[in-house]
C-alpha cells in the first residue's frame, strides 16, 4: 500500500500541468472543525518518505528513474505506518 501511494505521488508531482497536479496543493478556505486535524494523503506520503530519509521528494519525483528506486525502497518498510 505504501509503495503504491509513493508511486502515485510521483505521477502527481510530474503532472503539474494536469488537473491532478493543480488540485493536490489546493487548500479550501473554510472553517476548521474542532478536534484533531484529519490526516491528508500528502501528509502520509511525506511521513513515509521521512522514514526513508528523503526530504526533497518533489525534486526527486520529477526524475522517473530515481523515483522508481524510492518506490522499491518503500517496499522495505514492512509494518511501519
Residues 21-39 have pLDDT tens digits of: 777 777 778 887 888 888 8
In a domain, residue 6? The reply is yes
In a domain, residue 72? The reply is yes
| pLDDT at 19 > cutoff 70 | yes
In a domain, residue 26? The reply is no
Task: State the Cα–Cα distance between residues 9 and 42, nearest whole angstrom.
Answer: 8
Q: Residue range 55-70: average pLDDT?
A: 87
What pLDDT, on the 0 to 100 scale, is given for residue 44?
A: 87
Domain count, the chain: 1
Burial environment of residue 80 by CB neighbours within 10 A (0 to 12, 13 to 18, 19 or more): exposed
Q: Would you place residue 80 in the very low, low, confident or very high pLDDT band (cuts 50, 70, 90)? A: low
In a domain, residue 12? The reply is yes
SS3 51: helix
Q: Is the pTM of this model over 0.75?
A: no
Our separate counts of H helices and E strands in the chain read: 5, 0
In a domain, residue 3? The reply is yes
Query: What is the secondary structure of 41-58 as a DSSP string?
Result: HHHHHHHHHHHHT---HH
In a domain, residue 22? The reply is no
pLDDT per residue as tens digits for the range 45-55: 888 888 888 88
Give me the phi and psi of 64, to 5 degrees please: -60, -40
In a domain, residue 1? The reply is yes
> What average pLDDT does the chain have?
82
Amino acid at each position: 500500500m505504501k509503495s503504491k501511494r509513493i508511486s502515485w505521488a510521483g505521477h502527481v508531482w510530474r503532472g503539474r500541468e494536469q488537473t491532478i497536479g493543480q488540485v493536490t496543493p489546493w487548500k479550501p478556505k473554510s472553517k476548521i472543525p474542532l478536534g484533531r486535524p484529519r490526516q491528508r494523503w500528502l501528509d502520509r506520503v511525506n511521513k513515509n518518505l521521512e522514514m526513508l530519509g528523503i526530504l526533497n521528494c518533489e525534486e526527486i519525483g520529477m526524475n522517473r528513474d530515481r523515483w522508481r528506486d524510492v518506490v522499491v525502497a518503500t517496499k522495505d518498510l514492512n509494518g511501519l505506518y
